[in-house]
Chain A
Amino acid sequence: MCGITGLVDYANGVSRSILTEFNNRLIHRGPDAQHVFLSRDNTAGLGHCRLSILDTSSAADQPFRSRDSRYWLTFNGEIYNYLELRAELEKLGHHFITSSDTEVLLASYVQWGKECLHRFNGMWAFAIWDEARQELFASRDRFGVKSLYFSLQKQRLCFASEQKALFVFRDQGIGHICPQNTGWILMYPESIESKRETLYQGIEKLLPGEYLLFDKSGIRIHEWWNTHEELERQPNQAVDANALTQLFEQACHLRTRSDVKIATSLSGGLDSSAVTSQIALFPEALEQRELKSFVGSFVGSDKDEYQWAKQVVDQYHIPHRRIPISAESAVQHLIDATLALEDITSLPVLGPWFVYQAMRDEGYKVSIEGHAGDELLGGYTRHLNVFIADLINRKSDPAALASAIIALNDSIGGDNLQRLKGNLLQLSLDPASTNLNIINEKPYLSQLLNISCGIRDHKIKERRNPLFNQRNMLFQRLYEDFHYYALPSILKTYDRLSMANSVEIRSPFLDYRFALAAFSAPEKFKIHNGKSKNLLREYFKFIPNEIRARNDKKGFTQPLGNWLGGAIGQWLLAFIQRPEFVQSALYDGKALRKILSKLIAEGKYQQVITYWPLVNLAILEQYQS
């Protein structure tokens, strides 16, 4: 994993010094090597900051050129099936001088053009400059694991892995917080990953499954992957437990391909336990890759899951390290973590920072993780809700309904009858309700903004397709969470926090073959007998039994309510006294300070948390450069 930058300017050309400064903004993503390339006539420049993982020699440094120097590549990500592609390309006459996936990617593009994208199993954001056609091609992977932001001004395009790199052009009006976009992003922070716009003026993003072409005539953006269309194209084939288990094993195995040692981030939840347990079954993982698990632990809190993580490491004799995370340590990095995320979030995300920091300190550059398990296999309470709605609509299987109600009761704490009844009676039975428009309205936030706050339509494009609307509510909900509003935000968050500590994360659940199979799979592998993620519980017997039986999802979230009663609350009280906080151009600082001071004094920490998006905005406004 790395950081990429690039500049194409048909009118004025590219300056090496500016390109170098631009590129160096991403050095945290690639501390191992930093290089820039300028085209013959200075029309284009590519930059790369390398985190060396496959073929760590300098021969695989980037930007990487084709043999005839026609094509130049800058690439962030991994093509896990590079060995298989290489074998295929060698048969077609290609010769390789490195053992990297970078070289295979470029050769694939040379051989197959943009069709190469369909052959890749991996995660990527890359750009290729074609000297002959004077054209830039750039692409993101299917599910947007890796980001690509760009700024377009007439005949100039600049792009980067992170928005903060583009702040180098702030003197040209690029990269200041955009007041018009701030409003709707605050109302629903997770929605930003599904939109072309960003929080910043002049900065847009390539969306997952897209590629762009840029030449003298301008920019053209195309969608090269749509999961639903792909599912519709596949013949109706039964997906069984065997197929899913094998695909998962293959996905994990591919992701252990590395020339450096590998770690796992283990929370003790089902998903990370599945990944860690599976990888521990590969003999080379422990022996050659020095597999080690890192466990973030909120010691002394009811959010702590260390006891569960320990079951995995004990069963498989995996070396591990417990990383205690406290309010006092979290407050030291709160600003750093918020700036690393470079966007507004609904809650601060602090725990992972310490896990990746520990990995970096011990020389681990690769972490294999359990992201996307919930979004594919129905791990959230809202999935259980729509599963119940489907049962009610179908009016069949009272036993399944009873199991689901019992599970719903457990998931909401088991001791709140009114809340359970409220859930059941107000559960929407209308599939279109899986769309999340209703959460736009947060008057307690919008009334504090100095700008008007329009409501955005968050209707997903698949809803224009009658075939999508015919699918059951669980499928629709999972699809939306995976592609639009839940997972993309998580992926961005973890990319930023890991790369801020120079660690690459890999997610086997995001192997496209596994994802397609999971979407096609019968419901019994998702929610069955009231159990979520039933595939993992019933069929992944390599996960420790006690973890498979867990029904108390915690999700590696910090005990923020408790922390606000201590160090984080003290930090916040000091922060809201700053003149810069009160004098914000974006929100009513005086009113917000008054509200937060009162809530903290009264110990109403859950209400304080609801104002985090504005506090987040304030941090970005004050500290970004």
Chain B
Amino acid sequence: MNLALARVMRFLQRNPNVKHLILWGNGQLGSAIVKLAQTYFQDIESLSIVDSTINQSRNEGAYQLHPVDALKHLPCDCLIIASIAYEHEILKEIKLQYASLKDRVFSLSRGTTLNDNSEAACSNDNQNALGSRIFDYPDDPLLWRALANNASEKEKALYLQCAAILQTKES
């Protein structure tokens, strides 16, 4: 288990209505999420992977493999970005080509559009709660900044440096 899979696990547990799941990314992470879904979420009715390297749809037994443009017609309750390396590019493409799906996207580093780690959510948490949550979301610059607010001088500098490193250009 790693943080990525733990997040997917928590997300699917909180969203039992996801019956048609699509993953974007046919790499190691995609394969791991397929195994997770097969093991723990047997209620999922259809499981598909789309990837730019796939030219023709095919059946892989437990899941279907499709080219990306299959997103136009595949049933979809949730689209998980199963690639951290290309997450930014994939999100851009979704915005441009598959805008109707954008509210159903789960991104590993950004959560959903209802982001658990929004600034509003963080501002309501005390230092202890933030200090605990950071271990589930060590990649979130918002959380590190929130932690810095009530930290000692030395720790504040560290947390802000961490947040700066993790800051993307868009956020």
A, B from the same assembly? yes
Residues of A within 8 A of B (CB): 388, 391-392, 395, 398-399, 401-403, 405-406, 409, 417-422, 424-430
The segment out of B40-48, B69-77, B128-136 that lies at the interface is: B128-136
Give B145-161 as 1s and 0s: 1 = Cβ < 8 Å from A's Cβ atoms.
00100000011001101
Query: Chain A's nearest CB lies how many Å from the CB of B110?
Result: 10
Query: Chain B's nearest CB lies how many Å from the CB of A286?
Result: 42
Q: CB of B35 within 8 A of chain A?
A: no
| Contact for A425 among B2, B132, B161, B165, CB less than 8 A | B2
- CB-CB < 8 A to A392: which residues of B? 3, 135, 138
Number of A-B contacts (CB under 8 A): 81
Interface centre among B135, B154, B155 (most CB of A within 10 A): B135
**Tally of contact residues, B, Cβ under 8 A:** 32
Query: Once the chains bind, are A402 and B144 in contact (CB under 8 Å)?
Result: yes
- CB-CB < 8 A to B92: which residues of A? none
Query: Once the chains bind, are B84 and A399 in contact (CB under 8 Å)?
Result: no
List the B residue with the shortest CB-CB distance to A414: B165
Query: Chain A's nearest CB lies how many Å from the CB of B89?
Result: 10
- CB-CB < 8 A to A401: which residues of B? 134-135, 138
Q: CB of B1 within 8 A of chain A?
A: yes
| Contact for A398 among B2, B3, B159, B161, CB less than 8 A | B159
Q: CB of B22 within 8 A of chain A?
A: no
Query: Chain A's nearest CB lies how many Å from the CB of B160?
Result: 9
- CB-CB < 8 A to A428: which residues of B? 1-2
Interface centre among B29, B84, B132, B138 (most CB of A within 10 A): B138
A interface majority secondary structure: helix
Residues of B within 8 A of A (CB): 1-4, 6-7, 28-29, 84-88, 108-109, 131-132, 134-135, 138-139, 144, 147, 154-155, 158-159, 161-162, 165-166, 168
Query: Once the chains bind, are B85 and A424 in contact (CB under 8 Å)?
Result: no
Query: Can you pick out 17 interface pairs between chain A and chain B where the beta carbons lie within 8 Å of each other?
Result: A395-B135, A399-B159, A402-B155, A402-B158, A402-B162, A405-B138, A405-B162, A405-B166, A418-B84, A420-B165, A421-B139, A422-B85, A424-B139, A425-B2, A425-B84, A427-B2, A430-B1
| Contact for B165 among A398, A406, A418, A422, CB less than 8 A | A406
In the complex where A401-B134, A409-B165 touch, is A426 in contact with B158 (Cβ < 8 A)?
no
Query: Once the chains bind, are A429 and B139 in contact (CB under 8 Å)?
Result: no
Contacts A398-B134, A401-B134 known; 11 new A-B pairs at CB < 8 A: A398-B131, A398-B135, A399-B159, A402-B159, A405-B165, A405-B166, A418-B85, A424-B138, A425-B108, A426-B84, A428-B1
Complex formed: what's the CA distance from A309 to B154 in Å? 33
Query: Chain B's nearest CB lies how many Å from the CB of A403?
Result: 6
Complex formed: what's the CA distance from A438 to B1 in Å? 14
- CB-CB < 8 A to A391: which residues of B? 135
4 closest A-B pairs by CB:
A425-B4, A422-B84, A402-B162, A402-B158
